[in-house]
Structure 1
Amino acid sequence: MTALGRRAGTAAAVLSLTLAATLAGCGSEDEGTAASGGATRQPRAGASPSASESSGPSGSSAADGDASRSPSPGGSAETEKKTRGTPKGGVPKPGDVDGKDADEVAEGALTAMWTHDTTVDDGPGDAARRTADAGWLTRSYARQLGGRRGGSAPGAQWQRWADHRAYTTVALDRTEDAAKPEDTDTVAWRQLTVTTTPHGRDGWTREPASVVAYVHLVRKSADAFWRVADVTVR
């Protein structure tokens, strides 16, 4: 089975930053009609294995979109307040990279999406919402991910991290599949292995955990900035 499957229009794709709970997402057409462009699509993240001690904290996740910061409706005051904090080590912003370089945009977005800090976040989904608020994503993908303020409790694994006031560090490796389509002026695909390691502020740590992330990027024209339209994991 190739790493890239046929794109399914506007059907929802699922992004699971923690391999346990999922968030709905879909490839966006709002950055230009070339977003469809015959590009293929990655396998759904809903097929990911269940979470374990080594795979990251349990809970849903999200990502963001527009350069303008506009909190999604339905968020609690507590969540809105807490997610305005900055994780240890900081997180990249779109202005920190060359927005016309698909590699840099994909790497920056994934780093932001997988950076957690239990002293700042209420649960693992806050990293994705923070990413959505930063401007890495297309508008529709940002709305879908950033709008999921509710949901289930973070879970025992997140609580274990919180007991140690833990944060994550992120390492990325390019692991392109031979079947990856060639870039066009307005559509690009990237495949990276994302490795996260939790570190407690009390010296506690766990073994790194890795997932493969498939990133679909689009832009309106050859001189526009890339935005992430979809991320799936396996």
Structure 2
Amino acid sequence: MTALGRRAGTAAAVLTLTLAATLAGCGSDDEGAAASEGATRQPDAGASPSPSPSVSPSSASSATDGGASHPPSPGSSTEAEKKKRGIPEGGVPKPGDVDGRDADEVAEGTLTAMWTHDTTVDDGPGDAARRTADAGWLTRSYARQLADHRGGSAPDAQWRRWADHRAYTTVASERTEDAAKPPDTDTVAWRQLTVTTTPHGRDGWTRKPASVVAYVHLVRKSADAVWRVADVTVR
């Protein structure tokens, strides 16, 4: 494997693990649980040419708060149908929902899809990455990289606790870019966003939000083509 291939594989593994780590960061104060050791990781060296930006935690936007309504029981036809179709609470954005020629909208839509989880639909946190790839937000090569590393986000005790409450997440994102970000070209763009995730149980349970800073690498074939995400690194 080439050095470039190793870096790409490492970046995919880091993202997959971070999707799971963000879940652990949400609700780390649950029923006597130990304090979380942090939901973020440094971006892989060489995975992105963007300099190490300075991000102010206060710039992160808050996700939707408040108790969730009480939907039908897990055995109802409504939830059974959602499980069958793999649709999380509130749905997830699709490429057709945004202006594909707008790098900002594509980056935000991709991150929202990646961090949207629903324990009544998903078997584990890695399913969100699979859903994002299947929807068409990513380049083919990046979709394959994430698929290869799905095993790194197996359900853990935190996910099982969420499942006990039939929890789902709400996601908010805000651009928090550094002045040193490389300028866009016709075919390459970089975006930096703070992604804030909040878990909500269908029984009214909820926990504090957790945030990560995501660096998004977007590419397209020509100036009039739609953008696709070629890489996401987080810290």
TM-score normalised by the chain length of structure 2: 0.69
TM-score normalised by the chain length of structure 1: 0.69
**Is contact 1:83-1:126 (8 Å) kept?**
no
The equivalent of 1:185 in structure 2 is 186
User: Larger % of strand: which?
Assistant: 1
Whole-angstrom distance in 1 between the partners of 2:192 and 2:234: 9
The equivalent of 1:47 in structure 2 is none
Q: Structure 2: which amino acid aligns with 1:121?
A: D
Shift of 1:151: 4.7
The equivalent of 1:155 in structure 2 is 156
User: Superposition pairs for residues 137-216 of structure 1, below 5 Å?
Assistant: 137-151=138-152, 153-216=154-217
Whole-angstrom distance in 1 between the partners of 2:154 and 2:216: 27
**Is contact 1:83-1:130 (8 Å) kept?**
no
Q: Structure 2: which amino acid aligns with 1:138?
A: T
Shift of 1:189: 0.3
Shift of 1:41: 4.4
Q: Is the aligned partner of 1:17 residue 2:10?
A: no
- SS in structure 2 opposite 1:18? helix
Whole-angstrom distance in 1 between the partners of 2:121 and 2:158: 16
The equivalent of 1:61 in structure 2 is none
Q: Structure 2: which amino acid aligns with 1:226?
A: W
Shift of 1:42: 6.6
User: Larger % of helix: which?
Assistant: 2
**Distance change >3 Å, CA 222–CA 111, structure 1 → 2:** same
Shift of 1:148: 3.9
Shift of 1:147: 3.8
**Is contact 1:168-1:196 (8 Å) kept?**
yes
The equivalent of 1:222 in structure 2 is 223
**Is contact 2:20-2:126 (8 Å) kept?**
no
Percent identical pairs in the alignment equals: 84
Shift of 1:85: 1.1
Structure 1 unaligned regions, length at least 5: 1-7, 27-38, 44-80
Structure 2 unaligned regions, length at least 5: 23-38, 53-81
Q: Structure 2: which amino acid aligns with 1:223?
A: D
**Distance change >3 Å, CA 139–CA 153, structure 1 → 2:** closer
**Is contact 1:42-1:214 (8 Å) kept?**
no
Q: Structure 2: which amino acid aligns with 1:110?
A: L
**Is contact 1:42-1:232 (8 Å) kept?**
no
Whole-angstrom distance in 2 between the partners of 1:161 and 1:89: 17
**Is contact 2:123-2:155 (8 Å) kept?**
yes
Task: Using CA pairs under 8 Å that are at least 6 residues apart, name the structure with larger relative contact order, 1 or 2.
Answer: 2
Aligned match for 1:40, one of 43, 49, 54: 49
Whole-angstrom distance in 1 between the partners of 2:144 and 2:153: 19
Q: Structure 1: which amino acid aligns with 2:49?
A: T
> How big is each residue's C-alpha offset from its partner over 1:60-104, in whole Å with a ceiling of 9 and x where there is no partner?
xxxxxxxxxxxxxxxxxxxxx968410000000001000000000
Q: Structure 2: which amino acid aligns with 1:199?
A: H
**Distance change >3 Å, CA 100–CA 154, structure 1 → 2:** same
The equivalent of 1:87 in structure 2 is 88
Shift of 1:144: 1.2
